[in-house]
Structure 1
Amino acid sequence: MSTKQPNILFIMSDDHAAQAISSYNKELVDTPNIDRIADEGMRFDNVYCTNSLCAPSRASILTGNYSHENGVRGLSEHFDGRQQTFPKLLQENGYETALVGKWHLGHGGNSDPTGFDYWNVFPDQGDYHNPVMMEMGEEKQVEGYATDRITDLSIDWLNNRNNEKPFMMMVHHKAPHRPWEPPEKYKTLFNDREFKVPTTFNDNYGDRANAAKVANMRIEDLKEEDVKGVPPTGLSKQEIKEWKFQRYIKDYLRCVVSIDDNVGLLLDYLDDNQLAQDTIVIYTSDQGFFLGEHGWYDKRFMYEESLQMPFVMRYPHEIKPGSVSTDMIINNDFAPTFLDYCHVQAKEKMQGESFRAIAKGETPDNWRDAVYYRYWEHLTIHNVTAHYGVRTDRYKLIYYYGEPLDVIGAVPKPMEPEWELFDLEKDPLELKNEYNNAAYTEVVNELKDRLVQLREQYNETV
């Protein structure tokens, strides 16, 4: 174990599904540079977001706390930068810190990035091509493709940092967020390939809660600007759906290939500057994403494709190359883990826990056996019902409480409450709701008790 404070290079994309990383799934796309982090470190197979939405996930990563504690329950609730964050704590303890790319937590007042010696971010979502960026509060247009320029600006900062200090750099890519615009060099990539539709592509939601039926994030819902064209005439509804899927998945994966190229540039930089040995490198995404599973795109639901975050990490001093973890980790755990590695104490308790021991292959005896999830933004953009739930190794219980509460932007239209239970061992694709199956009565009761316990543990009262 090294007693020296490590550097941290945290690379995060937006909406990058684990199934679109070849370390996790060989069938869709090759991502050799992201895979390299896993091959030289650890792949984490059960990392989950606590609220599958861009801004809330980012707030949880910064603070180590659930959405109701950090104040960002939905996209319309801006982050209060006066609260404790891990970049602030590192900065106060001798680290030089930087953030380049997507922020998406508001601007002005107390919402601009804090805890960073340098920041250069997109206002709101940002554009893929020639984006406007806000460098330390000053807006400037940057020429080029966003993914490339984020990497260039990150390397510029690394070249000019104070070499006497350890660094913590957050590289936040916009891609592969909707509308999935690839760089010019990859616009025809995959033109000669037909992608297989997922097993659940034609899900009819027949044995599930009404929430799945009313969500409007189906492949059929993709707009002309999403698929960059209109379907050929004479196609059936099913053929149009499949045509849209091919247009969608190809552009999505083209964006992913570009990200992977840029991850490679950052890894090469560390090698070329003799920084690899003493730098913790992470690649992750702010949440998962549906790539046609259940006939959907987007995220928000507690279903696996949305809930799971890809997460690979390399640190030669402590992590065995090629190792894999199946322990349950949540994005609230990132902040306390980074502080642990850097020998920095949080001033206020965080709701997450350090998984440093897990990364060394030494899972603590009292490590969590269940994950609590909460999606607050009732019936906004994609008409997804507000819900919370618990996931254990085998089961998932979801409660669609269907109320907007006081969440900014939530739609004031109550929905009938309903439950879903999935037996993930027998039904890993989450197609059969077992909530009303008498054979699962005891399981339901145990999981409801667990939900109560977790909500109390995390101080959630509404």
Structure 2
Amino acid sequence: MFKKLILSVFAIFALAIMVRAQQRPNILIIVSDDHAYQSIGAYGSPYHGTPNIDKLASQGATYTNAFVTNSLCGPSRACLLTSKYSNINGFKDNFSRFDPSQPTFASYLTKAGYQTAWIGKWHLESLPQHFSYFKILPGQGYYYNPDFIDMHNDTARIPGYCTDVITNITLNWLKDRDTSKPFCLVVGEKATHRSWIPDTADFGAFDSVVFKQPTDLFDDYKNRYAGKVNNMNIANTMRLGYDLKMEADTGFGNDNYVRFTPSQQKYFDKYYDSVYTDFKPRHLTGKALTDWKYQRFMHDYYATALDLDRNVGRIVDFIDKNGLGKNTIVIYTSDQGLYLGEHGWFDKRYMYEESFKTPFIVRYPKLIKPNTRDSTMVMLLDVAPTFMQLAGLSVPKDMQGKSLIPVFKGDGKNFRNEVFYHYYEYPNEHNALPHFGIRTERYVLIRYYKPDQAWKDKLVNKGSLIIDTYNPKDYWELYDLKTDPNEVNNIYEANKNSSLVKGLKEDLNDLIKKYKQTDAAKILKDQPVN
């Protein structure tokens, strides 16, 4: 009798654990690369390139003021994992290496009984730790027939188009997981990173579209030194070969070209040779050439996003068809935004809206009503604390973000009144100057600065770069988003002694202290600029 009682107690206890596990929500976050929010239908794009992402948005919430802490692929992912700014998690730039042994949301969730996985692009110069499973691209990875590193540190090439392959691995993991446990799954996409190579099925998908030029495609960068000296503009920096695949077998890059199967190469050559045949006899120059490059860039970029969108649909459909939709939070986001010709650019890095902001779409039926559109200021910094609270765990005190649960419930009115940003990488291919700053609902205040002497050593070590082309300097920029949403009119000089600037600088200093930005504090002290 006593033995039966003990067995019954154990059975009840085991059942209680299983019920609790089933009550805790599953977590799915899809993190694309360089996916500009302005290219997504839910954010206003008129080109019908993201039907599945738009459908997800209609089922949940679209956050129109979602920000990153550092608009660069690796640093943004490190922040997502740790809920700590780059100066704290140690991954400031693409010269860095992420320490995977430090606490992340994965370390806490795995310990709490979640099955955790990271599949796809990682790009943190290390191998994941704390995850139950991972299968990642080495470095940036390749669009065609990509290599993957598994948990045994073995590397193998998998045939197919990268976005499709990532989804296949993802669905297999979901099918084979331990269904008695909740899961936390991160799907890291390579798309839509440079150099924007579509799947063969999507070659030419947008060639009939004439994309509307941004009003500042031919920006003159008046009163904006950083804009003048950078090297990321479509007119002068975007390469006809590497970026736009003209003369593909030479200019496009041998490391990409040799990965094609004969069939893939046939499709690739047929399409891009026809584009080149049309382009070459035109002998375009000046603004006409810039406009042609802009259109080609957009055609390839949107076509690359098509397969990304299809695969978002494949993953979400699996969740729904397997009865997981009601108890799974689904997040679609990107590691940052991207300039699609705004300011004449095609990269990211800067604190201006198009790369500082990122898409952030969340479906969670338990808390979020369909077709919600929310302008609350949120950050990728907030993802890890949110996962902690969803799992019924306490948010660690050293996480610098805030749980988004109140925002999901519609209580985000005073969630955040300003955001802080810090971009470090210098030197870099694009000569984007290091800077930090504050953005409020209406104003953006940015401080550009000279990095410490270590940047010269990095520059020399890169070999191919010429020191004389790099001339960082200290100065401020100020923008009024209400009157100047495109951020082309730097009004700092006219307002530098105003109460507005004084107040913004006080708020900036408060955020510097809050986020333990000792390097930014030192710059303000040692390199004062009126």
TM-score band w.r.t. shorter chain: over 0.9
Higher Cα Rg, which structure:
2
> How far 1:340 sits from its partner (Å)?
1.0
Between the aligned partners of 1:246 and 1:260, the Cα distance in structure 2 is 21
Q: Who is 1:171 aligned against?
A: 187
2:296 matched to 1:247?
Answer: yes
- 1:226 corresponds to which letter in structure 2? D
> 231-240 or 403-412, which moves further after superposition?
403-412
Query: Distance in 1 between the 2:54 and 2:32 partners?
Result: 15
Q: Structure 1 residues 340 and 247 mapped into 2: Cα distance closer, same or farther (>3 Å)?
A: same
User: Could you tell me how far apart the structure 2 residues matched to 1:343 and 1:74 are?
Assistant: 33
1:150 aligns with 2:207: no
Distance 1:262 1:269 in 2: 11
* Counterpart position of 2:242: 225
1:184 aligns with 2:200: yes
Structure 2 residue corresponding to 1:432, chosen from 485, 489, 513: 489
Mapped contact 1:132–1:142 kept (Cα < 8 A): yes
| Corresponding position: 1:382 with 2:430 | yes
- Map residues 308-387 of structure 1 onto 2, 5 A cutoff: 308-363=357-412, 365=414, 367-387=415-435
Contact 2:476/2:492 (CA < 8 Å) preserved in 1?
A: yes
2:341 matched residue in structure 1: 292
Deviation at 1:410, TM superposition (A): 5.4
- CA–CA distance in 2 between the matches of 1:28 and 1:391? 29
**One-letter identity of the residue aligned with 1:337:** T
Shift of 1:172: 0.7
What residue in structure 1 maps to residue 308 of structure 2? 259
CA distance in 2, matches of 1:19, 1:364: 24
Q: Deviations over 1:154-203 (max 9, x none)?
A: 00000000000000111111000001000000012112222111111111
2:127 to 104, 107, 112: 112
| 1:102–1:154 CA distance, 2 compared to 1 (3 A) | same
Cα separation, 2, equivalents of 1:118 and 1:139? 15
* Alignment check: 8 A CA contact 2:337 2:348 kept: yes
Structure 2 unpaired stretches of 5+: 1-19, 247-275, 460-466, 520-530
CA distance in structure 1 between the partners assigned to 2:77 and 2:448 by the alignment: 24
* Change in 2 beyond 3 A, CA 1:30/1:10: same
2:227 to 212, 217, 220: 212
Q: In 2 relative to 1, CA 409–5 (structure 1 residues): closer, same or farther, beyond 3 Å?
A: farther
Structure 2 residue corresponding to 1:132, chosen from 144, 147, 163: 147
The residue type paired with residue 399 of structure 1 is R
TM-score norm. by structure 2 comes to 0.83
The letter of the residue matching 2:308 is I
In structure 2, C-alpha distance between the alignment counterparts of 1:73 and 1:357, rounded to whole Å:
30
Q: Which amino acid aligns with 1:427?
A: D
The DSSP-based 3-state class of the residue aligned with 2:168 is helix
Q: Identity of paired residues, percent?
A: 42
Q: Displacement of 1:298 after TM fit? A: 0.5
**Structure 1 residues 390, 124: CA separation in 2 closer, same or farther (over 3 Å shift)?**
same
**SS of match in other structure, 1:11:** strand
Match of 2:67 among 43, 48, 52: 48
- Conserved 8 A contact 1:434-1:440: no
Matched with 1:400 is: 448
For residue 212 of structure 1, give the secondary structure of its aligned residue in structure 2.
Answer: helix
Code of the aligned partner of 1:422:
Y
Deviations 1:260-310 (A, max 9, x none): 100111111011111111100000000010000110000000000010010
- The whole-number CA distance in structure 2 between the counterparts of 1:284 and 1:409 is 35
AA of the residue aligned to 1:333: D
In the alignment, is residue 420 of structure 1 matched against residue 437 of structure 2? no
* TM-score (normalised: structure 1): 0.95
Determine if contact 2:330/2:363 at 8 Å carries over to the other structure.
yes
Moved over 4 A (4+): 404-414
